[in-house]
Amino acid sequence: MNKTLKIYIAILVLIIVGIIFLDANRPKPINWTPTYAVQDKIPFGMYVLDKEMKHLFPGEKIERFGTTPYEYFLDKYNYEDSTYTVKGNVLIISETNQLDKSSLDELIWFTQHGNSVFLSMKDFPQALQDSLGFEFSNQFYMGDSMHFTLTDKALKGKKYVFEKGYSLSYFNKIDTLTTTVLGHQEMDTVKNVNFIKVPYGRGHFYLHTQPAAFSNYYLLKKNNPEYAANLLSYIPKGNLFWQAKSYSDDNISGSPMRYILSQPALKWAWYLSLIALFVFMIFNAKRRQRIIPVKVPLQNTTVDFTKTIGNLYLQEGNHHTIIDKKIIYFLEKIRTDYLIDTFNLDETFVNRLHQKTGKDKTDIENVVRLIKRHRNHLDSSEKDVIEISKAIEKIAQK
């Protein structure tokens, strides 16, 4: 290893050490992404809720699933008597509506059989709005905070304040004959409905527009955990089927590098190692690789030779020989490409060539006729050359 390469490596090592030192000492930025995933400890993850679920639903069976509701309940439906083999409540908390049509139909059908579905998200599928007779809208003004209240008599007068991540969505139209208002949101003295209960079949839908209430940020702040607990208390007793993101195999990478890439320090160390290896390979290859000689490709003179011979026959006016050569070349191509015997140009030959090439049978018969006519004549004209050339081209071209 020469002196120059040692200097490059030393500089690279110093750069790596410097980057690692700066990265280790700088404050880690807060990730405000609303993932609502139970493994995330970021502000808008649901790690805290996942740990507290057994206390919020004491004695109840909680089943977490990461697939779509349709996939989860597919094998829990009995097609013989059109009933479900399980009963209980579905809980889905998400930043936005992620329900596909099949899953929404499954939830509606599950509710109709006497179960309940609790949805907390900032928007709802249009099909669900049509089925339950409600509409939602967004407030077009902003404030520093939003206040939440519940309509239960025991909870009246209690306000819960949110400063970040809250939704501007609210229910602006409901069926007052069937729908029960369970909660409100208030901003700048404007009060709107944000939590409703809607009957469907023998069950109920609980719709809530503020998923941030169940996030780590608010479950660890002031009296907001009480708000989340009160919201979930409306869910009837029974088994709870919770769609939790981290329980989906799709969210877990199967790569052996998963842990390294999930840790910022290890991830940057890995990337810098790859960069260092790449730089080393460049400098090493530059000094060791010998010059590659330029090889001039051989020139294909077959076409030129053919043109020369063709021009020679044409200048001599030997049209009969030109046709002979064309026929010889054509029949050789038939034997080589299609493995067809060309000794007898009869009906069998025509049929086999037609089957293997897919060419029009009339064109093939025309070529055979011209070849036979040529063989029976001792002289040919330029017109004959043109005629048989065109006929052969129709068959020979791919």
The average pLDDT across 287-303 equals: 69
Q: Are strands 190-200 and 77-78 parallel, antiparallel or unpaired?
A: unpaired
**Local confidence band at 377 (pLDDT 50, 70, 90 cut-offs):** confident
pLDDT digits (tens, 9 = 90+) for 213-252: 999 999 999 889 999 999 999 999 999 999 998 764 444 4
Q: Note the pLDDT of residue 206.
A: 98
pLDDT, averaged across the chain: 86
Residue from 2, 58, 102 nearest 232 by CA: 58
Q: Note the pLDDT of residue 251.
A: 47
pLDDT digits (tens, 9 = 90+) for 325-373: 888 888 888 888 888 888 888 899 889 988 988 888 898 899 889 888 8
Distance CA 369, CA 379 (A): 16
Phi first, then psi: give them for residue 162, nearest 5 degrees.
-120, 135
**Local confidence band at 258 (pLDDT 50, 70, 90 cut-offs):** low
pLDDT digits (tens, 9 = 90+) for 92-103: 999 999 899 999
**At 268, is the secondary structure helix, strand, or coil?**
helix
User: Do residues 49 and 219 make contact, with C-beta atoms less than 8 angstroms apart?
Assistant: yes
Q: Note the pLDDT of residue 271.
A: 85
Global confidence as pTM: 0.61
Residue 8, pLDDT above cutoff 80: no
Q: Note the pLDDT of residue 249.
A: 44
Residue 384, pLDDT above cutoff 90: no
Q: Note the pLDDT of residue 2.
A: 67
Residue 202, pLDDT above cutoff 80: yes
**Local confidence band at 288 (pLDDT 50, 70, 90 cut-offs):** low
Amino acid at 33: T
